[in-house]
Structure 1
Amino acid sequence: MNWEQALGSKAELINTALDLLLPRASAYPSPIHEAMRYSTLAGGKRLRGAFVIAVADILGTDGERVLPAAAALEMIHTYSLIHDDLPAMDDDDYRRGKPTCHKVYGEAVAILAGDALLTLAFCTLSRLQEKGFEPGVVLRVIQEVGKAAGSQGLIGGQAVDLDSEGVKVSKETLEYIHNHKTGALFSASVRCGALLSGAGDEELQALSEYAKGFGLAFQITDDLLDLTGDQELLGKKPGSDLAKNKATFPGILGIGEAIKLAEDQVKKCQLSIARFGPRADFLRGAANYLLTRKR
């Protein structure tokens, strides 16, 4: 399998769905809709949405049926980036090679665009019933995503991350930040694909272990790229974590130990999905990608 081509195919499906689901830029009030489309359709790997589709494929469900869930998770991810880039948070000027949402539309519209994407995501999840999924399954997926996006997931991780700036934190606190701020949406993506496909308890557990390892490895490599990455490939200026004195794995463990920890997490990913055989090749490729990623 050419993993990057497979990811590109899934991303194309997700981008088409997002284009249809987002309000037209001309719809009144147009500034908010322009901002939503600007940030959501600005590029990105679409990894979270791709995981929903990939897990559905593994378990024998047509990937196109789960597109509302894939698109919804990408909306939530984009909302989190818009808010993360705000001056009150990480104060970044560029995202995916373009000026951040608040730099183009102002802080107030950027906040509202993020809010609108989050709420649209849950409207979109409810449309899974139109794809033939049972109401009880759709409700469980909505609960899964709600927890991952809330104070016990992404927002909780972001809150601890902000509290940890300029403070010496333990490895355990840093793992909490990364498992929640980054890992929660990866876990929700994988688990939603599994829940929509009727996964058994053991299958769901194995896939959940994969997602946890992937999320942690992804953030460790993100920390490393902030130190060593190329601005053109990253789409944003490297070194921002260091400038803001943020807690990172390279900062706590050193670059060598951080790389080793990422490699260990990738190994855990591979072991957790061994039971699925060749059907899980996309997930295997995703984990391996982390060790060579440049953006």
Structure 2
Amino acid sequence: MRKAWYNPNAPVVPTIAEIRTVRDSQRDRKRRLRGAGLLACLLHPVCDGPGVALLVFMPPVLFALSLPVFDWIAIVDPFRRADWAMGLLALPIFLPLLFSFSMTLGYTLLVLGQMLVASAMGEADQPAWPEWNPETISEGLARWIWAALFGMAVGGFPTVLYWMYCGNIDWFDRIIFADLIIMGAGYASMTLAASLLHESLAAANPITVLVAIGRIGWDYVQPSLVAGLSVMLSGGFLWTVLFAIPSLRLAAIGLWAFWVFALYSAMVSFRVLGLTYYAHSDALVWFRYRPKWATSSRAGRLYTNS
């Protein structure tokens, strides 16, 4: 950047070389997005140590902490007598486990958020796991809850209302359900990305989110589809495990498999979303540097990536 030679107080104007640099960087980002196709995103969770470790070590912990959900369902029996009062009375028994589960899940979501930031910066390596910090975990949970509420408002509530008044469900209704879920998942993903990359819940407002989606344009269809399919498959998987499998032993195995699939699909969804942001970062201009909460380093690691 330089000033006009005849006026030292003139506004800064870009040079031809700088304009070409910006355009080259935009083309390079779009080429990298096309090169990192869906197959590469599907392989991304198992191509680096942090992702593999997340799939190996976190599902058993989350499985052990969420296993009492079968006891709570047996007490409440939602599809028969639906004794919610008895469930509320039994809830204090599960409070210690519920707290441990929330903190463990919050830490897992913090790792996933760092993977989203790394993809948004165009990095091929996955970030290292962060330190266990209850304050950071609580803040991360707030961001996820905020994004989930917006996703439910956009896609969840219309889906429930449509289900209540549509009558007998046919294939057309199922297509409508899928469209609403994909729309809600896509909106929730951008809401989460805004709160993570801006480091502020205030940035995850409808104006910022809708403007960002509009600037990305049709390229945002892919991350919305991937996020929507992940939500539908994970929700169907969990419902089958909790209510459709007659054997408790098989259901327990299915619960462990659910956590593996949920973490894997989340990493794939965030990889697609992050690369989409990276390709359009010049248009969005959300951030220049890595957010402070996602500054964990891979320095001193025992392995390297080719």
TM-score (norm 1): 0.36
CA radius of gyration, larger in: 2
Query: What TM-score, normalized by structure 2, do the two folds share?
Result: 0.35
Q: Which has the higher contact order (CA 8 A, sep 6+)?
A: 2
